[in-house]
Amino acid sequence: MTVQRPQNRPLAPFPVTEPRASGLLEVGDGHRIYWEDCGAPDGIPVVYVHGGPGAGCAPVHRSFFDPSVYRVILFDQRGAGRSKPYAAWNDNTTAHLVADMETLRTHLGIDQWLLFGGSWGSTLALAYGQAHPQCSLGFILRGIFLFRQREVDWFIHGMGRFFPEAAADFFGALSPEERQDPLMAYYRQLTDPDPAVHGLAARRWAGFEDACARLIPSVSPLSGVPGPDGRIEGLAIARLEAHYMAHAGFLEEGQLLRDIGRIRHLPCTIVQGRYDVICPPETAADLHRAWPESRLVMVPDAGHSALEPGIRAELMQALQDFATGVRGVG
């Protein structure tokens, strides 16, 4: 079923509550992932799977969830956010992240949880669910990215058709030879040990993506220089996105659609912005076609960001609908 609602925004964000518990969990290979546990201790467990890879979680992400209904688990994937080491790409693959999620679930004593993720978060949520369907309650997904080669090619070569000014900055820093394979050129720069090299590359990569992320683009450029804590703004998302794209997401081509039968019995709502330039709607339509039991909600006045009003409202509505189905709440 595909739904396109009228432009009605009845749901307001919930207050940003403080975590009841948080910590750093050892997951091997020198990585420790940051996690936090929010909301109702006996609520419906839900895990927030952030985008990127490398984007990390922020306090605002707690505001999607009714803290009286949901037990909300947020975590920063390897190399992202408050996880350590920052922006590390060693031993960082989809299989590692799926295993980390399972380690975290077991550590927190959760039997099953709802998967809530957007963009790369939808990729990882699907990969986790297909690996561990018995641990999954269902899916609420946004801005679908399945890591097929054509989706990577669109990110590198297609988005700039809509945002040529941002593309000019993205490609303008590359030599004519590097422009023959801009992904690998950026990957080399982003993994260069010199902060002057990888910092500038991070600014250009993350700035390109950020410029394309909303119906009304952001006008706040990334600095690409170290902050007070020594971290370079945008480095984790730029470096890890390039790392994953250079390795086809560490997935087989079409894998997530091929293995959809492992989770088709579970409920799924897909929220998609009509004008999402980073993850165009055709990918959400492909997932819905492969998973006809899912519900596809097309937001008519939104791009990619989960924080755009229409996207946020539909994600919150999907959470309310799920809770109603599970507990009769709402």
Section 59-81 average pLDDT: 97
Region 67-81 average pLDDT = 98
What mean pLDDT value characterizes the chain? Answer: 93
The helix/strand/coil state of 170 is helix
- High-pLDDT (> 90) share of the chain, %: 87
pLDDT the model gives residue 252: 98
Q: Which residues of 27-58 are buried (b: 16+ CB within 10 A; e: fewer)?
A: beeebbbbbbbbbbeebbbbbbbbbbbbbbbe
Is 219 a residue whose pLDDT tops 70?
no
Known catalytic membership, residue 119: yes
Q: What is the pLDDT of residues 3-16, one digit of tens each?
A: 655 455 557 899 99
Given a cut of 80, whether residue 225 has pLDDT beyond it is no
Please give the Cα distance from 34 to 73 (Å, whole number).
11
Residue 271 phi, psi dihedral angles, 5° rounding: -110, 125
Confidence tier at 230 by pLDDT (50, 70, 90): low
DSSP state letter for 84: B
CB atoms within 10 A of CB 89: 21
Among residues 198, 210, 304, 305, the one annotated as catalytic is 304
**What token pair was written down for 84?**
């350590």
Q: Which one is catalytic: 37, 66, 210, 276?
A: 276
Average pLDDT over every residue of 235-248: 98
What gap in Å lies between CA 263 and CA 290, rounded to an integer?
11
Q: What pLDDT sits at residue 191?
A: 98
Q: What confidence tens digit (pLDDT) does each residue in 141-167 have?
A: 999 999 999 999 999 999 999 999 999
- Mean pLDDT in residue range 258-287: 98
Query: What tens digit of pLDDT does each residue of 78-120 get?
Result: 999 999 999 999 999 999 999 999 999 999 999 999 999 999 9
Of the chain, the percentage scoring pLDDT greater than 70 comes to 92
Q: Say how far apart CA 144 and CA 146 lie, in whole Å.
A: 7
Residues near 133 by Cβ (< 8 Å), separated by ≥ 6? 262, 263, 265, 266
Q: Tell me the pLDDT tens digit for each residue of 85-94.
A: 999 999 999 9
The pLDDT confidence band at residue 233, using thresholds 50, 70 and 90, is confident
The pLDDT, as a whole number, for residue 218 is 65
Domains of the chain, by residue range, sit at 2-147+251-327, 152-248
pLDDT at 223: 45
Q: What is the CATH number that goes with domain 2-147+251-327? A: 3.40.50.1820
Tell me how far CA of residue 27 lies from CA of 50, 97, 257, 265, 269, in angstroms. 18, 9, 28, 30, 30
Contact 135, 112 (CB under 8 A): yes
Asked whether the beta carbons of 301 and 164 are under 8 A apart, the reply is no
- Name the active-site residue from 83, 119, 122, 305: 119
The answer to whether 194 is a known catalytic residue is: no
d(CA 130, CA 128): 5
How high is the pLDDT of residue 146?
98
User: In DSSP terms, which residues pair with 295 in a beta bridge?
Assistant: 269
Q: How far is CA 23 from CA 51, 55, 102, 165, in A?
A: 20, 18, 16, 41
Q: What is the pLDDT, as a whole number, of residue 95?
A: 98
Rounded distance, CA 17 to CA 145, Å?
A: 29
For the cut 90, the answer to whether the pLDDT of residue 326 exceeds it is: no
Is 304 a known active-site residue?
A: yes
